[in-house]
Structure 1
Amino acid sequence: MTHGGQALARTVIGIIGNVISFALFISPAPTFKRILEKRTTEEFHPYTYLACMMNCMFWVLYGLPIVHPDSTLVITINGIGLFLEFIYLTIFFAFTNKKTNKRIIVTGVLVELVALAAVAFMTLLCFNTHEKRSMFVGIVCVVFGIIMYGSPLTILKQVMKTKSVEYLPFWICLAGFLNGITWFTYANLKVFDLYIAIGNGIGGLLGAIQLIVYAYYRKQNVDYDVKLVADVNANKDTILRVC
């Protein structure tokens, strides 16, 4: 592929990546619709939204012209994501009945803001070229990107214990998988971006693991429901014959 062709492909994949990333950011909407209707967060956890918020913060920093020029697509989608995650956390805080969750959200947001300020300060103070700044912030982004993609894994223990996928949001897992694969492809076009490639490559893998777990336990739930219906129908037939 020619240089111009790679540049065009990168732009197109970047736009597709933005669309899929937006889908990832709005994928919790059914969960929060349920929270608003029931006025409780039930057994849902805030970790995923805190991780996603921090990830967006650092990618916005990474995309700034003083760190990594020509990264408009990175800034725009992560700015939107940051706004949406703030809304999700506000709703979660308002409707959770657990003081522990409220404490986790407040502490988490404060720690994230302090961490962002510290990284931004160190970036400007200690590094004087775009390459060095991109490397430093990029490494931080990789770490928190992996945390974001892996955050639904915190629910897997509960899924395996209860053998239910009720609290493992399918759309978040699917959007995370597609998002990781798309941005991994984007990172390999025109100019190879190591940091986008590593974080999203691992993210795609983690998303695949979550989908496999979801499919496995979802099938078990369906098989159980089918067996339950069959047992109920059999009992009805027995009762009718007796009568």
Structure 2
Amino acid sequence: MSTLLPSGDFLCLWERHRSPYSWVSKELKPPEDDQGFTRDDKIPTFYRIYKRKSTEGFQSVPYVAALFSAMLWIYYAFLKSDAYFVIIINAIGCSIETIYIAMYIAYAPKKTRIHTAKLLLLLNLGVYPLIFLLTLFLAKGSNRVRVLGWVCATFSAIAYAAPLSIMRLVIRTKSVEFMPFYLSLFLSLSAIMWFCHGLLLKDFFIALPNILGLIFGVLQMVLYAIYKDTNVSEDRTVQGQRDNSITSIEAPIEVQQTECVV
């Protein structure tokens, strides 16, 4: 499902400072509810984009991948007899991801906007209809569910790997500005819950991709723990340089005033 995958979520989209949400009670809810708070955790990121009228260093790949994944899981759920929550959650996910992508395109630079539009057309209007038609006409009955299950699991794993570019950026810049801790935490919790959900239903196509999701979620939190103080130290250094420059400017002024009084 879309946050079956990072949806990341967990390439994608991210900012440095987040207000802590009340996730403790949500953590105890069923997996279908867990989808919601993973998506809601993106809201501050897009509020920042809206407020600054710029996508800054945020990337569109995780959101496009999440939309594509949600569409696949809806198709998969329709072929199952007991997957109503999967349909509902991913339908909501498709709506939310569509809004995110539309806002991203609205404020992205021209080159990024074109790249995002091409990726969107390729996956959601090209690959998805192709998968739908091939599984509809070339596979029958339980074979169709099995084939589509492997397709969904594969793309779920790819979507979970989408934030690798963000992790590489964190290592290169030693900054977690675009990789918030809470999104990584919720990604890990969501992966755990969906893994358990898949095991309970004996649906390994749901369970297996979330092992990868948990691994990437934990790795992101480890990176955050390593580099979380980098921005603070840099800000303090810059502030210290500014304070020193102000002091050096004010000192001669005081000397001049003293000499004039004398």
TM-score (norm 1): 0.82
Within 1, Cα distance between the matches of 2:238 and 2:118? 44
Within 2, Cα distance between the matches of 1:139 and 1:92? 30
Q: CA deviation at 1:170?
A: 2.7
Q: Counterpart in 1 of 2:11?
A: none
Within 2, Cα distance between the matches of 1:197 and 1:104? 32
Q: Is the 8 A contact 1:152 1:173 kept in 2?
A: no
Question: Aligned Cα RMSD in Å?
Answer: 2.6
**Alignment map for 1:85-104 (pairs within 5 Å):** 85-97=97-109, 99-104=110-115
Label 1:93 to 1:230 Cα distance change in 2 as closer, same or farther (>3 A).
closer
1:203 to 213, 216, 225: 213
Within 2, Cα distance between the matches of 1:176 and 1:194? 19
Tell me whether 1:194 sits opposite 2:208 in the alignment: no
Q: Is the 8 A contact 1:149 1:176 kept in 2?
A: no
Q: CA deviation at 1:46?
A: 0.6
Q: Counterpart in 2 of 1:140?
A: 151
| Regions of 4+ moved over 4 Å | 222-237
Q: Counterpart in 1 of 2:182?
A: 171
Within 2, Cα distance between the matches of 1:219 and 1:20? 29
Deviations 1:161-207 (A, max 9, x none): 21111111333222211111100011111x41111111112111111
Return 5+ residue gaps in structure 1 as ranges. Answer: 1-12
3-state DSSP of counterpart to 1:41: coil
**Alignment map for 1:39-188 (pairs within 5 Å):** 39-64=53-78, 67-97=79-109, 99-112=110-123, 113-129=125-141, 131-188=142-199
Deviations 1:90-136 (A, max 9, x none): 00000112x2211122111111222111111111111221x212211
Report the AA paired with residue 172 of structure 2: K
Tell me whether 1:17 sits opposite 2:41 in the alignment: no
3-state DSSP of counterpart to 2:228: helix
Label 1:18 to 1:164 Cα distance change in 2 as closer, same or farther (>3 A).
same
Report the AA paired with residue 94 of structure 1: A
Q: How many residues align?
A: 224
Within 2, Cα distance between the matches of 1:45 and 1:213? 18
Q: Percent identity?
A: 30
Report the AA paired with residue 195 of structure 2: F
TM-score (norm 2): 0.76
More helix by share: 1
* Larger Rg over CA atoms: 2
Within 1, Cα distance between the matches of 2:66 and 2:180? 15
Within 2, Cα distance between the matches of 1:232 and 1:106? 42
